[in-house]
Amino acid sequence: MGLDVAQMALLAGADDIGSTMMEENVVSASGTDKTQSTEYELQKAIIRAGFKPRKRNSRYELLKTTIVADSKLPCKIPLQ
């Protein structure tokens, strides 16, 4: 699993692809050894899925979000 699965999850209704805490057993059970993505990688995946990246704190309150990825990236996923 990776950012491509996260993009599909966004299209299916998920509203969060990052977290302030991650369980190691969940990561290892997914079959991946990559436990971190950069802010740029996350924003790029969100934008390419057709959404706008927004930062939130642990109480899900909106925080100031600086877009570090190019907001004009082409959508990689067919939206049909």
Per-residue pLDDT tens for 19-76?
655 555 555 666 666 567 888 888 888 988 889 999 888 888 999 988 887 766 666 6
Instruction: Quote the tokens at residue 37.
Output: 């993505």
Long-range contacts of 49-57 (CB under 8 A, 24+ apart): 49/7, 49/10, 49/11, 49/75, 49/76, 49/77, 50/11, 50/75, 50/77, 50/79, 51/10, 56/16, 57/20
Instruction: Quote the tokens at residue 18.
Output: 């990052």
* 3 state DSSP class of 56: strand
At 24, the amino acid letter reads E
